[in-house]
Every structure is written in C-alpha cells, then in structure tokens.
Amino acid sequence: MPDTILILSDRPDRQVRQLQSSFKTLGFDVLALALADIGFDSRYPSGIAIPGMNGGLPAAVIVRSISSGTFEAITRRLGILHAFAHLDVPVWNSAKAIERCVDKSTTTFFLAQAGLPTPETFAVESLANAKAVAERELGHGPLVLKPLFGSQGKGIRLIRRIEDLPAPEEIDDVYYLQRFVAHSGPPFCDYRVFTCAGEVLGMITRRAEGWITNIAKGAKAEPVEGPLRAKLESLALAASAAIGTDFAGIDIVPAVDGRLLVLEVNSMPAWTGLQSVVPVKIADCIANALAARIVPQLDERPAA
C-alpha cells in the first residue's frame, strides 16, 4: 500500500483537490481530514488517533486550514501538530511556523528582528493602551487596525482619529495597529509572492480600486514584470526564512517613496489568484518538493 499524505483542512476546497491529485500522481495515498477530528490516544504506540489509519502515521502532513475555536481547542490542535513533529512526521507548515504567521504581531516581531522592512506596528491589549498608542502615533499619519487572527482582508479598519478605535468587545480586546503605508492609487496595488522549499514559485500584482487589495475582496491578479521581480523574490525568501515556513504567501506593499515593505506572511495561503497568471502548477510544485523531502526517509525505513 502506498504511503499516505495527510491533508488537514476544514473544507474540500480547490486547493485541497489539487493537492490530492498531485500526490496521487506521485503514487501516494491521500487522506483529507479536519485537524479537529484527530485525537490524542494513548492506546496507540504513536499516541495519536487518525480516523481511517488504525493507529498508523502518515508519511507527511500538509496543513491547509485550521478552523476557529476556543483557546483550549486551538491549543489541542496545535499540540497534535507538535506531536507529529516529535514523531518525525514532516509537517508543512510546522506548528511553530503557523503560530508565528497566524498571530500577526508575532510575524511582525520576527520580520523586524531579521532586519526586514515592515511597517511600524503596535500590538496592545485594552482600549486605554490603544488610545495611548493612537495619541502618540496619529500625528505621524493614519494607522490600520487588523484582527490579530484574520485573513482575506476581513475586519480591517483605517484609524484616523482616536474615536475610530472600536470597543474592546468587538475585537476581543486586542488592538493590532500598523502604520498605514501610503501608496499610489486608485487603482491601488500590492504583491503576493508564493514561496516553497526555498524557491519562489510565482508572484502576482493584486490591483483594486480600494486600498484593501485581497483577491477575496475583488482585487484582480496580474503578472509582475521587469526588474521588480528580483527585488520581490529576495524580500519574500528572506521573510519566509525569518518565519520558518516551508511554503507561504508573502504580501509586500510598495510605498510612495519606492520602498517595498513586507506586510504579512501567510502559512496557509490560497493560490487561485496566483494560479490564474503563472504557468507552473502550484499544487504539483508543493507535492514534488515535499515528496523529495520524505522519499529518502521512506527508503531508509527497515522492512516490515
């Protein structure tokens, strides 16, 4: 029986189906489950119960999505990913990388520590602390309030006045405030660069009439042309290395003064927009890269 690749996702979206097809072409069995359905179980030598695997372990794990939940539920799910790593099962992306990406304040911390250009950022708890930041910083220009855990441009607000700050209960009393990067528009644009295993698979310009340029919000994907590609590639690879991702979507914004600033690193990126303008098949690239990583390990295992 071929070795199994476990894809963790809460929904069988297009990316999951593409990955399933790519791994099956390489000769792997593929099992797609929600991370919430995998449990710790001390009856098994591995200590992990995966539906359909009868106490066995996969050859590798790919994390496509983790649904929202209580603090306890998320902690347990990340514990499962840490356990896989402890058992020497490759996990793309690792729990550590996911934790660094999902929490935007942690992403910013590691980008800044690596010396990468990223907007000034302030993450605090309580409205009083947020007001203190706003009073100090708004004189230098507007701030962008983002959900600490969020994606696809949801919940982003522009803060021009202290009164624009929402009530604590609207945002779980955590205020992630980032310097608004003024850039030319409309139309406005930024860049999404997709990296995998230390290489750039492709990049797009995301263009929109509003300053929020997520594809999920209606932005259009266009190819990136010219010498800018080399600068974006270098910056994206450095950002991926700083966070420790195996594959990622890195968002980079151009400022009006010509600087390129890293906004976010996404450890569970969609690639529909990217795939519409780049010739390589993203799912095939991910599957081939992970297979190259694990096949030598599989070949070295003792015969049953």
CATH number at residue 239: 3.30.470.20
Choice among 6-15, 96-105, 205-214, 292-301 with the minimum mean pLDDT: 292-301
The pTM for the full model equals 0.89
Average pLDDT over residues 109-117: 97
Q: Which domain range does residue 172 map to? A: 121-179
Question: In this structure, is residue 239 part of a structural domain?
Answer: yes
Question: In this structure, is residue 221 part of a structural domain?
Answer: yes
Average pLDDT over residues 228-247: 97
Predicted confidence (pLDDT) per residue in 143-166, tens digit: 999 887 765 556 789 999 999 999
Assess whether 264 and 199 both reside in one domain.
yes
| pLDDT for residue 154 | 62
Assess whether 168 and 245 both reside in one domain.
no
Assess whether 260 and 291 both reside in one domain.
no
Contact 116, 235 (CB under 8 A): yes
Assess whether 13 and 135 both reside in one domain.
no
Assess whether 136 and 216 both reside in one domain.
no
Question: In this structure, is residue 276 part of a structural domain?
Answer: no
Q: What is the dihedral of CA 150, 168, 243, 38, to 10 degrees?
A: -60
Query: Is 216 a residue whose pLDDT tops 90?
Result: no
Assess whether 128 and 236 both reside in one domain.
no
Q: Which residue has the higher pLDDT, 181 or 116?
A: 116
Average pLDDT over residues 182-206: 90
Question: In this structure, is residue 277 part of a structural domain?
Answer: no
Average pLDDT over residues 55-80: 94
Assess whether 194 and 157 both reside in one domain.
no
| pLDDT for residue 184 | 74
| pLDDT for residue 11 | 86
Question: In this structure, is residue 128 part of a structural domain?
Answer: yes
Assess whether 51 and 155 both reside in one domain.
no
Choice among 49-53, 181-185, 224-228, 274-278 with the minimum mean pLDDT: 181-185
Query: Is 12 a residue whose pLDDT tops 90?
Result: no
Query: Is 170 a residue whose pLDDT tops 50?
Result: yes
pLDDT category, 215, cuts 50, 70, 90?
A: confident
Q: What percent of the chain has pLDDT over 70?
A: 94
Question: In this structure, is residue 304 part of a structural domain?
Answer: no
Query: Is 238 a residue whose pLDDT tops 70?
Result: yes
Tell the burial category of 201 from Cβ atoms under 10 Å away from its Cβ (0-12, 13-18, 19+). Answer: buried
Query: Is 303 a residue whose pLDDT tops 50?
Result: no
Query: Is 297 a residue whose pLDDT tops 60?
Result: no
Average pLDDT over residues 206-216: 81
Domain boundary among 179, 199, 219: 179
Question: In this structure, is residue 214 part of a structural domain?
Answer: yes
Average pLDDT over residues 38-61: 95
Rounded CA separation 300/286 (Å):
22
| pLDDT for residue 302 | 45
State how many domains the chain has.
3
Q: What percent of the chain has pLDDT over 90?
A: 75
Question: In this structure, is residue 150 part of a structural domain?
Answer: yes
